[in-house]
Amino acid sequence: MNYNKLLPITINYNKLPTYAIPIVIGTAGKLLITIILFTIITSCTSEHKKTGEAIIQLSYEDDITPSYYEIIEMYKKLAVHYPEAKLLEYGKTDAGKPLHLFVISSDKDFNPVSIRKNNKRIVLINNGIHPGEPCGIDASLQFADDILRNKNGMAKYLKNTVVCIIPVYNVGGCLNRSAWHRTGQTSPKECGYRGNAKNLDLNRDFVKMDTENAKAFATIFRKWKPDVFLDTHTTNGSEHKYTITLIPVQPDYFPKVLSDFFRNKMIPALYEKMAEGDYEMIPYVSYRNRSVKKGIYLDVQTPRFSTGYVSLFNTLGFMTENHVYKNFSDRVKSANNFIRALVEFTSENGEEISKKRKLANQELIRQTEFALDYAVDTNRFDTITYRGYEAEIGISPVTGVERFGFNKNKAFEAEIPFYQYYYPTKIIIKPEMYIIPQAWSEVIDRLKINDIEMFPLSKDTILEVEVYYFVDHENSIRAYNGHHSHRNIKLHPEMQKVQFFEGDYVIPLNQESNKYIVELLEPEGHDSFFRWNFFDPCLESREYFSSYGFEGNAQKYLDKHPEFKAKFEKKKKEDKEFASNHRAQLGYIYYNTEWADERHNRYPVARIIKIDDL
């Protein structure tokens, strides 16, 4: 049955008349009062709400998605009509307009702290991160209108669940509306643009936070601490029969107690719920070597992406990827079905979700080893049924030249492998604490936005800490999302006594946010602050020597240190090339004495291994 096709019943439960209780005397009268009271009480509980009228009008059946202003106007309209809904504003996006959050809370409680205290789960839905992929924008509006007017009894999900919707995350991209974006897309008629007001891809910005949008998102995320998260997208790159595909957080990212629940219960239940409706769902079709029949893969989702970021905090995250080659109304309806399935599952399994997340958070506090990188296990896979089209080399009708594509006349159904198991390839032992000099304020600001517990040193002190030296690394030649990020990082750890100052920050690793802290502060983390160039100045030497200017001090040093001088003379005797190279000899003295710049290539964030050092 497709609940989307059911006709709405035109009674608005918010506009029902207030009942007057008649004053009557006698047994029959008491019975009447009891009946009337029972009717009133039951009519007021969320399960017994009547279905109201639709408040907003969407045009996705006509291939039209609303503009930014229309979207916000519709949410305002819903918030005015329903006391159970509120449109909040968080910060300003790069476009100068606020980031909105639409909250649906049946208790009319819009305080996340008391919502959690009252044992309710929070679902956060993010839309329009890529505004050229607007199915989720329309689907969320439809969902909000439907659940608020209790279409098909949906309001019952709100008994133990609060739904938060970011109407449009990429506000600047949504305002840049045109019929000429998204070359592979034929509907809707007009849509927004992928880049934000700063021309950055917001789905690479969740940890580096170059945009005000990302800062506002992190503020929302850490304040509301959602149990469940969804980020809505549209995809091309494959050709098959499914309107909607799914990328869940890689389950292996979670502690086992949550990973098992997520992989074995939640994800299968969502596929089952979708199969009951008009839009069967399959995993996102990511394949290799142009051959989908050899299997599809659940991709690694590093913290730069929404799902990777939310997984650091044990939030059960998903991306829906609607299939671009299907018409817009089906994309919207299937996204709407998924949102409903997600909220329904959360409501039906609320207690279990809370319990597993709590245990997983405790595990994050306890665990000492953290995986910084993963690889897919190609020896282990599940089998799924896939209905697609044969891939083949065809002749392009546009260019007349051969190209890779899919033959829509050759449909097939096959059982194919689905590779979704990963194993860690890089494990790090957490220190007791990190210490970060206050000079690195851009990093400290980001830690604060993410609500990381840290405390400033109360006095200047020298601490024995573990530091990393960068032995080697490479940079991307081309700019990628505003950075020339680092890769192939090689480190050399060593214990050192380092001067720290009052106000430098100590970050204890006894927090539910441990995974975020380790991923972001270990330079080898896939999306660490180091990789994203926040610490580049440490790679430069600010002190050096001149071939002429250093001679005087070099001579003095040799005179004062006979043992070192003997070593130096021995090397000169044994190494002819060295003996004839003035610069190499001065370099030997520079690098092997106190003259060497110990800050050069030293990562400024130190690891405190023993807590009694503090």
Residues that bind Zn ion (CB under 5 A): 130, 133, 233
Amino acid at residue number 408:
K
- Minimum distance from residue 162 beta carbon to Zn ion (Å): 26
- Minimum distance from residue 542 beta carbon to Zn ion (Å): 42
Calpha distance 171→156 (Å, rounded): 32
- Minimum distance from residue 577 beta carbon to Zn ion (Å): 57
Nearer to Zn ion among residue 130 and residue 215 (C-beta): 130
Nearer to Zn ion among residue 319 and residue 589 (C-beta): 319
Amino acid at residue number 351:
E
- Minimum distance from residue 130 beta carbon to Zn ion (Å): 4
Calpha distance 209→216 (Å, rounded): 10
Q: What b-and-e string marks burial along 278-311, b requiring 16 or more CB atoms within 10 Å of the CB? A: ebbbbbbbbbeeeebeebbbbebbbbbbbbbbbb
Say if CB 578 and CB 445 are below 8 A apart: no
- Minimum distance from residue 42 beta carbon to Zn ion (Å): 44
Nearer to Zn ion among residue 4 and residue 235 (C-beta): 235
Nearer to Zn ion among residue 173 and residue 508 (C-beta): 173
Calpha distance 147→609 (Å, rounded): 52
Calpha distance 73→384 (Å, rounded): 42
Calpha distance 584→45 (Å, rounded): 84
Nearer to Zn ion among residue 79 and residue 298 (C-beta): 298
Amino acid at residue number 86:
K
- Minimum distance from residue 408 beta carbon to Zn ion (Å): 24
Nearer to Zn ion among residue 105 and residue 320 (C-beta): 320
Calpha distance 497→76 (Å, rounded): 58
Q: Is the dihedral of CA 570, 573, 578, 582 positive or negative?
A: positive
Nearer to Zn ion among residue 133 and residue 212 (C-beta): 133
- Minimum distance from residue 233 beta carbon to Zn ion (Å): 3
Nearer to Zn ion among residue 234 and residue 585 (C-beta): 234
Nearer to Zn ion among residue 133 and residue 522 (C-beta): 133
Calpha distance 232→331 (Å, rounded): 11
- Minimum distance from residue 66 beta carbon to Zn ion (Å): 18
How far from 184 is each of 178, 205, 234, 396, CA to CA, in Å? 14, 24, 11, 15
DSSP helix/strand/coil, 542: coil
- Minimum distance from residue 479 beta carbon to Zn ion (Å): 20
* Owner of token pair 């300003």: 92
Calpha distance 164→161 (Å, rounded): 10
Q: What b-and-e string marks burial along 562-573, b requiring 16 or more CB atoms within 10 Å of the CB? A: eeeeeebeeeee
- Minimum distance from residue 133 beta carbon to Zn ion (Å): 5
Amino acid at residue number 340:
R
Alpha helices per DSSP H over 427-473: 441-449
- Minimum distance from residue 58 beta carbon to Zn ion (Å): 21
Calpha distance 364→314 (Å, rounded): 9
Nearer to Zn ion among residue 234 and residue 601 (C-beta): 234
H or E, element range at 137: helix 135-148
Nearer to Zn ion among residue 178 and residue 236 (C-beta): 236
Nearer to Zn ion among residue 130 and residue 326 (C-beta): 130
Nearer to Zn ion among residue 49 and residue 233 (C-beta): 233
H or E, element range at 407: strand 402-419
Amino acid at residue number 76:
K
Pairing outcome for strands 287-288 and 291-297: antiparallel
CB atoms within 10 A of CB 274: 22
Phi, psi of 414 (to 5 degrees): -150, 155
Say if CB 465 and CB 410 are below 8 A apart: no
Can you read off the two tokens belonging to residue 315?
A: 């939030």
What is the CA angle 86-92-97, rounded to 5?
A: 80
- Minimum distance from residue 203 beta carbon to Zn ion (Å): 6
Residue nearest to Zn ion (CB): 233
* Owner of token pair 């098959």: 240
- Minimum distance from residue 318 beta carbon to Zn ion (Å): 13
Say if CB 243 and CB 204 are below 8 A apart: no
- Minimum distance from residue 331 beta carbon to Zn ion (Å): 13
Nearer to Zn ion among residue 504 and residue 527 (C-beta): 527
